[in-house]
Structure 1
Amino acid sequence: MMQDDPFPAAERILLEIDAVFRKDPKLKEFDIVPVTANHNKSPVLHVEHCLGLESWCVRHVYCYTYHRIMDARQLRSRREDPAMLARLLSGALLINPDVTTFWNMRRELLQAGRLDMQGELHFIAVLLSRKPKCTEAFAHRKWVVRRLLLAGADKDALLEEELQVSRYAADRYPNNYHAWSHRMWCLANLAPATSAILHKEWAASEAWVSSHVSDHSGMQYRQFLLDRLLELKHSVSEDIVDTGRKSIQQLLSHSQNEDNVDFVQSALIKSVGLIASELLLNTDLILRFAGHEALWCHRRYLLVSFKKILNCRTDMNGTGGCRYSSSICVTRSRCAEKLSEAVSSGHVNTENAPLERDQKLSSQELGALDRDLCHLQGAMMWHEAKLISGCQPDELHQQRLAKQHRKWLSHVLKLDVPAVA
């Protein structure tokens, strides 16, 4: 239990911290500096937009702020000066941001107009520099953003700021699930309906996961982006389509098919192309950075998505929200039969738009689509076999992960991956 520890200098320290936030709008970091002795000078350090608090005074300041805040909370008469209460809460949260009561009291001050909403976002950003995985801070940040939206704040400016903060937090702490979840929330609630931001994030996240190959939270964000791109009603950018087309052809060229495949139906280029390009990137990362389980887990997600696309072959609603069959191995006749049913009902469009009921694919087009799907399925199996065989025998952890992957392919996807010399 925390004992009462009067500290006369606490109020002065809190005033100095508050003054730093007021005079430096570019303040970006806060940390506790390991100094064990009091040298009769201010323990508050402010250098190059960075705020520090010497460690010798941390316990005393926190004890002081904690007891003052709890006293104010219990009185309920609101006799504590709001400005003073705000300083107490700032000091306490900078030291220990995991106390829900403190954040609730900050919300009360914000609702009463005693604190500025934009200033609160700045305070949280500085706090996250020291505690980048703080759940309470991200939850409070979402609350503030919602309030700003209700007040008519600029969505684009808010989105840009939130993306910067979440990226900074993710860089500061590995596997920062809370930062990446906040980023997903921002795209879902702040991003415009257009696909431009998704394309930008897709390109940026590729560079990020390529340099953080053990960070599965970052790869989960990439999976989120992939799902959103596949759900787009309108076309993705030409760059993504071209990359996807080249990736598909690269997969097919490595599958040792005797037939020369010159095209893939346009309905599949966006969906299969996106997944194929990500599979090739994932293959490159697995072979270059051996022994990282996060890469293999990400691959399994991609293969499940690939399987669903191949089995569905078409978007029943024009939105990416179709339902998939359970078997990966679809025969030529079943493929044509299922696609014919979809075309007859007027829900299939190779250009991602609903067909009129009097429009039907010809038997030649059905056969071409069926042929492409068979090639893609074979290419996927061949690619997995090449990857597993390409893992070096002297990399024991990589070999173990490859064996687990082969077992997963067999038991989950029901694929008997052939051995490749």
Structure 2
Amino acid sequence: MGDDSRPRRILADLSSALRRDPKIDEFDFIYCPEPVVNRSPVVLENHKLGLQTWSIKLLFNFVYNNLLKNTAAGKDLKSLHEFSCTVLLLNPDCYTVWNLRKELVTKHYIKAEDDLKLATLIQTKHPKSPETFIQRRWLLQQLFPSSTSTSSSKRTQPSHHHHSTAQQANGNSFHNQHHSNGTPAHPAGSASHPADAFELTERHRQVVDREMDACRAAADRYPSNYNAWSHRIWVLKEITRLDTGVLLKELESTKSWVKQHISDHSGFNYRYFLIKSLSCHHPHEDVLRIIHEELVFTSNLIENFPGHEAIWYHRRSILTLGRECLQRGCCRVSYTTPHTLDYVKRVESPNGVEMCEDISDTEPLVQGEKEWLLLKDFSSASSFPGPKTSTSSSSAKMDPVDHAEYAAYERSISCADENIGDALALLLHKEDLFMELLYKKCFKVDRPQLQRCIDSHKKWLCHVQF
């Protein structure tokens, strides 16, 4: 009994601290190899909870053994709650203990919201714990059983050829509303998928915001945190049903994050998921504008951080998505506008989709056809000569013959033209010009590293197939 006195006191101090301050927002271990006489190893200050390292093994062995005894003896819920909370703070990768917490929730001894708070606190110390994210998803399913139980069965494959007429007639485009005031375009409670008849309530939004904050904090603490980003995507799919307003809000909020974590592939992959999700369900022109803005965004990032491959890989994904969207628009125009058939020669692509190959120079071009002409030789190796090496190490001046081409390229970046499809198509078509311009602008950076990135990008452009 005497051997248990010290860990019992430590457990009592830890439990008391958790009860005394419900606003604790961080937990960590404090390096202290030896105990200090007459001082508790539990430290609580400014809503931060710490535990001295000398007590970890002693406390964990005590609470884990007593947890197993309590489970075998008949499960005293109060002790089960106290022991399981302590075990998970010290080691959250214990699925058995999380299952005991599930039992406490189903028996209504603790609330699902309170267990989510515990999971958030645990992830301040253990940000990558997969078991903690699994528990979060289970708790969210308890909070929103109707959303998560039916979303998978109701979610259908996205159609690229049909859009709701009610959605198209619903005032301004979701993109213009989003960028005019920074708020979601859809009114509160509107659904991205009318067929689902799903309403995103204020409670949904509050919980989703907390989940996004928790995932962001976990991603900040652990680089390339796959579990955090996967959970974030799961929340968007299962809780919000890919609501347009939430997707746009996430797209805007993650801009600053990827600027601060330019080598983290996970953040860029998440942005690609957001744009891809928007492209599956919304008007063609609005999606083209978002893709155009993302390409400009990646251009600015590459100019500032030219040697970071994560940005280049993301750019390739967006280039591919932009080309797919423009080709979808071209095919849709060609099929639905009979008078264009006299000027369009069709060919069968390897994947079985008809594309526009040639159009008469004597006739006006509809938007989809014009976009396709600009994209015809996008994947041709001869179209990408790459940057021209200069004899001067600080040669940032353009040749006079390039001024007109550069001016057109700059206009496509600023989207000075009203036709967003043409502006995006020009960006895709002139990727070689982007690399040449980049090489001239970034004359002060590590040239070998920049050249390696450009060579890798050129190789991808030469071998990519659609």
TM-score category by the smaller chain? 0.7 to 0.9
Residues in 1 aligned to 2:242 and 2:133: alpha-carbon distance in whole angstroms? 24
Task: Note the residue ranges of structure 1 that are not aligned, 5 or more in a row.
Answer: 236-266, 317-323, 336-362, 415-421
Deviating 4+ runs (over 6 angstroms): none
Q: Tell whether 2:66 aligns with 1:99.
A: no
Specify the alignment match of 2:113 in structure 1: 118
Among 296, 299, 304, the residue aligned to 2:315: 299
Specify the alignment match of 1:350 in structure 2: none
Question: Which stretch shows the higher mean deviation, 307-316 or 91-100?
Answer: 307-316
Matched residue pairs, number?
341
* 8 Å contact from structure 1 (residues 304, 413) kept in 2: no
Q: State the AA in 1 paired with 2:304.
A: R
Residues in 1 aligned to 2:430 and 2:354: alpha-carbon distance in whole angstroms? 15
CA apart distance, 1:207: 1.9
Residues in 1 aligned to 2:434 and 2:242: alpha-carbon distance in whole angstroms? 40
Q: State the AA in 2 paired with 1:305.
A: L
Specify the alignment match of 1:215 in structure 2: 264
Among 3, 6, 10, the residue aligned to 1:9: 6
Question: Which stretch shows the higher mean deviation, 271-280 or 151-160?
Answer: 151-160
Specify the alignment match of 1:320 in structure 2: none
* 8 Å contact from structure 1 (residues 33, 52) kept in 2: yes
Query: Alignment identity in percent?
Result: 30
Secondary structure, in 3 states, of the residue corresponding to 2:455? helix
Specify the alignment match of 2:254 in structure 1: 205
Q: In structure 2, do the counterparts of structure 1 residues 232 and 151 end up closer, same or farther at CA, with 3 Å as the change threshold?
A: closer
Q: Tell whether 2:402 aligns with 1:405.
A: no
Q: How does 1:381-396 map to 2 (within 5 A)?
A: 381-387=429-435, 390-391=438-439, 394-396=446-448
Q: How does 1:36-185 map to 2 (within 5 A)?
A: 36-39=33-36, 40-73=38-71, 75=72, 77-78=73-74, 80-150=75-145, 154-185=203-234
Q: Tell whether 2:291 aligns with 1:227.
A: no
Specify the alignment match of 2:412 in structure 1: none
Secondary structure, in 3 states, of the residue corresponding to 2:88? helix
CA apart distance, 1:395: 2.8
Secondary structure, in 3 states, of the residue corresponding to 1:46? strand
Q: State the AA in 1 paired with 2:102.
A: R
CA apart distance, 1:378: 5.1
Specify the alignment match of 1:24 in structure 2: 21
CA apart distance, 1:301: 0.7
Q: State the AA in 1 paired with 2:128.
A: K
Question: Which stretch shows the higher mean deviation, 287-296 or 325-334?
Answer: 325-334
Residues in 2 aligned to 1:398 and 1:302: alpha-carbon distance in whole angstroms? 20
CA apart distance, 1:368: 4.2
Secondary structure, in 3 states, of the residue corresponding to 2:144? helix
* 8 Å contact from structure 1 (residues 82, 114) kept in 2: yes
Secondary structure, in 3 states, of the residue corresponding to 1:105? helix
Q: State the AA in 1 paired with 2:83.
A: L
Q: In structure 2, do the counterparts of structure 1 residues 63 and 218 end up closer, same or farther at CA, with 3 Å as the change threshold?
A: same
Q: In structure 2, do the counterparts of structure 1 residues 44 and 315 end up closer, same or farther at CA, with 3 Å as the change threshold?
A: farther
| Per-residue CA distance 1:85-125 (angstroms, 9 max, x = gap) | 21111111111111111111111222222222221111111
Among 273, 278, 285, the residue aligned to 2:301: 285
CA apart distance, 1:8: 2.3
Residues in 2 aligned to 1:401 and 1:143: alpha-carbon distance in whole angstroms? 42
Q: How does 1:317-336 map to 2 (within 5 A)?
A: 331-333=356-358
Secondary structure, in 3 states, of the residue corresponding to 1:52? strand
Residues in 1 aligned to 2:322 and 2:215: alpha-carbon distance in whole angstroms? 29
* 8 Å contact from structure 1 (residues 388, 402) kept in 2: no
| Per-residue CA distance 1:201-249 (angstroms, 9 max, x = gap) | 111112221221111111111111101221234x5xxxxxxxxxxxxxx
Specify the alignment match of 1:373 in structure 2: 372
| Per-residue CA distance 1:117-173 (angstroms, 9 max, x = gap) | 221111111101011111110110110111112399932221122122112212222
Q: In structure 2, do the counterparts of structure 1 residues 272 and 199 end up closer, same or farther at CA, with 3 Å as the change threshold?
A: same
Task: Note the residue ranges of structure 2 that are not aligned, 5 or more in a row.
Answer: 148-200, 333-347, 375-421
Residues in 1 aligned to 2:331 and 2:235: alpha-carbon distance in whole angstroms? 27
Q: How does 1:241-320 map to 2 (within 5 A)?
A: 267=284, 269-313=285-329
* 8 Å contact from structure 2 (residues 43, 50) kept in 1: yes
CA RMSD of aligned residues (A): 3.0
Secondary structure, in 3 states, of the residue corresponding to 1:53? strand
Residues in 2 aligned to 1:329 and 1:149: alpha-carbon distance in whole angstroms? 44
CA apart distance, 1:7: 4.0
